[in-house]
Chains A and B, each alone.
Chain A
Amino acid sequence: MDDIVKGFIEEVKELLLQLEDDLITLENNPGNPEIVNNIFRVMHTLKGSAGMVGYKNIQDLTHEFENTYEQIREGKLQVNSDIIDITLKAKDLILVMLAGEADDSAAERLIQLLADKAAVTGKSNIKRVSGTSTQLRVSNHLYVILFSPDKGIFERGLNPDKTVDELKASGETHVILHEKKKSWEKQKAEKICATVWEVYLKTSLAMTEVEDIFLFYDKDEYSIFEMSREQLQIDPFLSEKLESLYKHKIAPEQQLRDCIDQLPDDEPVQNLPAEQPDASLAELKSTDTSRIETDSKVNVSSQKLDELMNLVSELVTITGTVEVHAEKHNDLKLNNALENIAKLTKKFRDNALDLRLVPIGTLLGKFKRQIRDLSRDLGKKVNMLIEGQDIEIDKTILKSIESPLQHIIRNSIDHGLEPKEERLAKGKTPEGLLKITAFYSGASVILSVQDDGRGINMERVKECAIKKGYMEKGQDVNKEQLLTFIMEPGFTTSENISMVSGRGVGMDVVRKELNSVGGSIEIFTEENLGTTITMKLPTTLTIIDTLMVNVDETQILIPVMDIEYCFKETNENLFKKDNRYIQYKNSPIPLVSLREQFKYAPSEQNELMVIVINKFDRRYAITADQIIGEHQAVIKPLGDLFVNQPYFSGGSIMIDGKLAFILDTNFLFNHITKI
């Protein structure tokens, strides 16, 4: 059961995210029928499934909201921000309910609030609504029903009396019993049914609703015919049935006419606009199709995905090994088959990887609410733009950037964007702009948060940096470097929250989090123009394309997404000079000897390979003995032995079974810029 509930909670959380997103969208376009429909559907789904796993309170709560949104959907109620506010609160409450920490009074209060608000806005409407619904309930259908249950009906746990009573309760009826030899009472006592009921029913129920009354009966046990009082058109099948029932003693037409006359006359029927039921029907249909679409998604636990990824990783490794061994045999058929396996493995890998990818919008949607609430609290009007919601990224990565992103967004609104008056004085628009953009760049995803606020005060940063001992007074430090100080641990103190517009708060933690998933972060800021924080993230964590190089005996893997250029250079040109810089594209970039870093003896080769690493347009070069080639690295965490070294972010098993290390290009960059 725990698993069921867990699965349920996961599913509901996703639904709620979508709900929140829709609600905020709806606030901006109150008339959007599709969004209203979405919200209605979420409420409907929640209502239906919550009770199933024992969340009666969620079921009851969502029931009320389902009703409200149904009214909105039918145009009987106008959406306003009060209703949206209450619904957002309901969403929060459901989360609390999921955790089992809600008390009933909270739900009651919310439902009461909803009733008040929905009634206030729709006052005049609601009255009309109830009028309309009685009109809708006008008994305008006339049915002739022949009900002939199987003789063993009692042994199926059913009682025809109950069914007939249900028919009687659903409208005006005229019932004729055809009891055959024994009376119905006697048949009942003997539990053998041989009776046929002929029922004339005038009701507001649609045909399907009448059929529902016979839910437990088989198709051959009942027939329902819809008749018109004015034009008596008799179905030949009904005619035949009646004839056999009355053994030709009475003409079917006469029988029907007589019985229909037994029913009370219609009250003056107020004609409803014809399109109304049709429209709602069409809407219902569209609901159904979209539900089918959502249902075609399967929720899989991330644990299962991890397992699959592990297996795929193994497969990738083994395929490589087999390929190496097969090459020795020079067997054409074997090689062909292997080539196919390799192709399939790659497809398999790509598909498996794809399963882990989720659109970034699922996370960004979460922030919409926070941005809305925070800007409301601070009395700032924020114009929010989100671009690239469809960009897909590994779920684990998405999860790990959630809190950093939250941090950054909060800082932007709280400290970056100025209050209205200040903005107007600066000649800016009264609303602040917050733009979140996501896009692909090679194998990585770039995610940026941009605001047009007051920017980071560099003088203050400098003061703090001096105080913290990162630089000397009077030392000339460029802006880029100053900004990197912000992300140093300990740079954040409560006093500099106010001094640097809070930009320092937790930025070291943000950077650390991003680094842990192989991402990096960069800040651009211009005083009074705003700040942009850009994150570069790998799309996936488990398999990456790398370039394999040799450094002495060690095989090093460099992520291809970080490599800009490779070239050969003589040992002399590289290291037989005073500084550790090389010329690249007409500017000097730092040079790192991996041999030196790893404390190997300097290389005696004449020529070395130089690999230019590009991290956010900041470049540095590393030297290796030899480039072996590209390698699809299945990343494995390094064991305890390696826990204290910062150079490598992981390892990968080579096809020959040896271990290769994945270079942490981020660390190396920070490391050399510090020297």
Chain B
Amino acid sequence: MKKRIVVVEDFNTSRQIIKKTLEAMGYQVEEAIDGREATRFFDGSNIDLVISDYNMPNMDGGALVEYIRAKEKYKYIPIFMLSTETSIDKQNRAREAKITAWIKKPFEVTEFKKLVEKVLA
């Protein structure tokens, strides 16, 4: 069965790039434009990875992670957080926020694919 990835990103271009990249890798991709919209996917169905932007309207990445980790089924799924932030400070805070990895935007596709493949291996 295809692994299922939820991509949350308010900027359409970025979301499409990520989606296309993942689909080309053979994954099933669900799209959401912000954290709030993303919540509908966490309905008990199987999700293998969440890739989310940090800065988004309505519900940001931090709040989304909190939401996901509060659900028993999704407590331990990998989450990648996208951000243009590079400061260690912010990254550490996110580590406390329980995510798998920060991905700095813009990212290199090969690097991005490597991360996804690794975490889903």
Contacts and interface: CB of A to CB of B under 8 A. Distances in A.
Interface of A: 1, 3-4, 48-49, 51-54, 56, 59, 150, 152, 154-159, 162, 191, 215-216, 218
B99 A54 contact: no
A4 B101 contact: no
B109 A156 contact: no
Interface in B45-78: 49, 69, 75-78
A152 B98 contact: yes
Contacts of A59: 24
Question: In this complex, which of B25, B49, B110 has the most chain A Cβ atoms within 10 angstroms of its Cβ?
Answer: B110
Contact of B20 (A54, A150, A152, A158): A54
A51 B109 contact: yes
Given A3-B13, A162-B121, A215-B118, 14 more contacts: A48-B108, A48-B110, A49-B109, A51-B113, A54-B20, A150-B95, A154-B76, A155-B69, A155-B75, A157-B49, A157-B77, A157-B100, A159-B76, A191-B75
Q: How large is the interface on B (under 10, 10 to 19, 20 to 34, 35 or more residues)?
A: 20 to 34
A218 B20 CA distance: 29
A244 B84 CA distance: 39
Interface string B99-117: 1110000001110011100
Given A3-B13, A51-B113, A59-B24, A156 B95 contact: yes
Given A162-B121, A215-B115, A155 B98 contact: yes
B21 interface: yes
Instruction: Kindly list the 8 A-B residue pairs having the minimum CB-CB distance in the complex, ordered from nearest.
Output: A157-B78, A157-B100, A155-B98, A52-B109, A1-B16, A51-B24, A54-B20, A48-B110
Interface of A, helix, strand, loop or mixed by DSSP: helix
A594 to B, nearest CB: 54
A161 B114 CA distance: 19
A117 B92 CA distance: 53
B119 A157 contact: yes
5 contacts: A52-B24, A53-B20, A150-B95, A152-B98, A158-B100
Question: In this complex, which of A53, A56, A156, A215 has the most chain B Cβ atoms within 10 angstroms of its Cβ?
Answer: A156
A104 to B, nearest CB: 15
Contact of B101 (A51, A52, A216): A216
A218 to B, nearest CB: 6
Given A4-B16, A155-B69, A54 B23 contact: yes
B81 to A, nearest CB: 11
A156 B100 contact: yes
Contacts of B16: 1, 4
B13 A4 contact: yes
Contacts of B118: 215-216
Interface of B: 13, 16-17, 20-21, 23-25, 49, 69, 75-79, 95, 98-101, 108-110, 113-115, 118-119, 121
A1 B18 CA distance: 11
A51 B117 CA distance: 14
A53 B17 contact: yes
Contacts of B100: 156-158, 216
Nearest to B12: A1
A156 B108 contact: no
B17 A52 contact: yes
Contacts of B23: 54
Contacts of B20: 1, 4, 52-54
Contact of A157 (B13, B24, B79, B114): B79
A404 to B, nearest CB: 38
A155 B76 contact: yes
B53 to A, nearest CB: 17
Contacts of A54: 20, 23-24
A437 B110 CA distance: 41
B21 A156 contact: no
Contacts of A155: 69, 75-76, 98
A54 B19 CA distance: 9
Nearest to A152: B98
A155 B119 CA distance: 14
B110 A191 contact: no
B102 to A, nearest CB: 10
A170 to B, nearest CB: 13
Nearest to A7: B13
B21 A51 contact: yes
A3 B49 CA distance: 27
Contacts of B79: 156-157
B95 A218 contact: yes
A53 to B, nearest CB: 6
Contacts of B76: 154-155, 157, 159, 191
A216 B49 CA distance: 14
A259 to B, nearest CB: 27
Contacts of A159: 76
B98 A156 contact: yes
A216 B119 contact: yes
Question: In this complex, which of A3, A52, A162 has the most chain B Cβ atoms within 10 angstroms of its Cβ?
Answer: A52
Contacts of A4: 13, 16-17, 20
A158 B24 contact: no
A4 B119 CA distance: 27
A23 to B, nearest CB: 24
A218 B92 CA distance: 9
